Amino acid sequence: MLVLAFESSCDETACAVLEMSEEKRIIKSNIIASQVDIHALYGGVVPEIASRAHIEAISKITYEALSTANVTIKDIDLIAVTQGPGLIGALLVAVNFAKSLAYANNIPLVPVDHIKGHVAANYLTHTELKPPFLALVVSGGHTSFFEVKSYTSLEEIASTRDDAAGECFDKIGRVMGLCYPGGSAMDKLATNGDKLAIAFPSPAISKDTLDFSFSGLKTAVVNYLNTKNQKGEEICKEDVCASATYSIVEAIKSKVSLALKQTGYKKIVLAGGVSANSHIRKGILEVCKKLKAEFYAPELSLCGDNAAMIGAQGYYEYLNGAIADVGLNAYPS
Ligand code: KG4
Ligand code: ZN
């Protein structure tokens, strides 16, 4: 089955074509028009600008996705689109574009939850992967554990009580003047720093819960940087990144260990933009080796927002009968 998929929940306009069946999970094209350079001027995503940029990009990238896959709209069997969560004005661009295309060409349309899409990026990287498993979604907006009971049934069992891990990376990166968003730059700087140079608080709030809290760490690092700046003292960015990352990695390691023990799963899947972080990947792998559990993460090109992951999840939603009509609306949260 050929799936045409759309994603416009935040600052990437994305369109992909996939060939999906019981045996095959193939990406035929995966086009992303990123708005990062535009939002970098403001240090964060400006919703109105994001919506306008999606409108400007969506037709062009659809043509590009179809032509790269060497197909036309007549060959498409299914259209999948991110329904939420995300910025409402941004989401509505792809939702309305997909609805029009589906209606005009008489193609079934399936709405896809963005978080489920991030998890589904793993089905494309690991073509043998099947639920059930435990998933940790770490992105700019979310940090949550899910029990993935089937391709379409995910139950959230824990989450951050305040900021997401990505928000924490991005805020620290912004205060240090790193390029936006800061997560990827911090990953590289942390590699050359001393992780024990500065003792920052842990995002693992207590031993008994799987929940996280990143706001204390975020504030502590920002306070450290501001105090250093006020005193005119030099800041070693590598040490700050290494120490903050160490705090995050240790918290994630302890929660992954607890989650595997509490739930009994022997398989954990990492997903979301922050899943690209090399230190987090290494940390979870260590825990999994110790607990004899399997660890999966998406290939780097599928960690951030993209439409291929939406197409993969859309295929399973279709099999589950979740077909939408022209009344389909987006949901922000
Ligand atoms: O999943 P995503 O593309 O968007 C949301 O759905 O939120 O995640 C974006 C987040 C940003 O906060 C970005 O800084 C972070 O992913 N990120 C990283 C890395 N690459 C992207 N964070 C840590 N290390 C990375 N290598
Ligand atoms: Zn995302």
What is the DSSP annotation of 147-204? EE-SSS-EEEEEEBSSS-HHHHHHHHHHHTTPPSSHHHHHHHHHHTS-TTSS-PPPS-
- The rounded Å distance from CA 276 to ligand 1 centre is 7
CA distance 272 to 167: 13
What pLDDT does 205 receive?
A: 87
Ligand 1 atom with minimal separation from the 165 CA: 12
50 lines ligand 1 (CB under 6 A): no
Ligand 1: centre distance to CA 166 (Å): 5
CATH architecture under which domain 2-121+304-319 falls: 2-Layer Sandwich (3.30)
Cβ of residue 272 lying under 6 Å from some atom of ligand 1 = yes
What are the structure tokens assigned to 5, written together? 């998929």
108: nearest Cα among 306, 332, 328: 328
Q: Distance between CA atoms of 235 and 213, rounded to whole angstroms?
A: 25
CB 124 within 8 A of CB 325: no
Ligand whose nearest atom lies closest to the CA of 141: 1
Q: Which atom of ligand 1 is nearest to the CA of 279?
A: 24
Q: How far is residue 149's CA from residue 318's CA, in Å, rounded to a whole number?
A: 17
Per CATH, is 130-302 categorized as 3.90.245.10?
A: no
Task: Return the ligand 1 atom nearest residue 304 CA.
Answer: 3
Determine the pLDDT at residue 207: 83
Residue 46: both structure tokens together? 């400006």
CB-based burial label for 6 (10 Å; 0-12, 13-18, 19+): buried
What values do phi and psi take at 329, rounded to 5? -125, 165
The answer to whether the beta carbons of residues 256 and 203 sit under 8 Å apart is no
Q: What pLDDT score does 151 carry?
A: 98
| Token code pair at residue 177 | 């003047």
How many whole angstroms separate alpha carbon 87 and alpha carbon 96? 14
Give the sheet arrangement for strand 12-20, strand by strand.
25-34, 12-20, 2-7, 78-84, 109-113
Q: How far is the CA of 226 from the centre of ligand 1 (A)?
A: 24
With a 6 A CB cut-off, is 310 part of the ligand 1 pocket?
A: no
Task: Write the DSSP symbol of residue 263.
Answer: H
Residues with CB under 5 A from ligand 2 (ion): 139, 305
**227 Cα to the center of ligand 1, angstroms:** 27
Q: Return the domain boundaries, the chain.
A: 2-121+304-319, 130-302
> Is 86 touching ligand 1 by the criterion CB < 6 Å?
no
**Strand ranges in the chain using DSSP code E only, listed in sequence order:** 2-7, 12-20, 25-34, 78-84, 109-113, 133-138, 143-148, 154-159, 267-271, 294-296
Look at residue 3 in the predicted model and tell me its pLDDT.
99
- Tokens found for residue 45: 């995503």
- CA 47 to ligand 2 centroid distance, Å: 15
pLDDT tens, 210-221?
999 999 999 999
Mutate to test the pocket of ligand 1, among 91, 274, 303, 306 (most ligand atoms within 8 A of CB): 274
> For 127, phi and psi rounded to 5 degrees?
-70, -10
pLDDT value of position 206: 86
Q: Cα dihedral angle (138, 141, 142, 143), rounded to 10 degrees?
A: 60
Question: CA distances (Å), 286 to each of 5, 201, 267, 269, in order?
Answer: 35, 22, 14, 14
Task: Collect the ranges in the chain with pLDDT lower than 70.
Answer: none
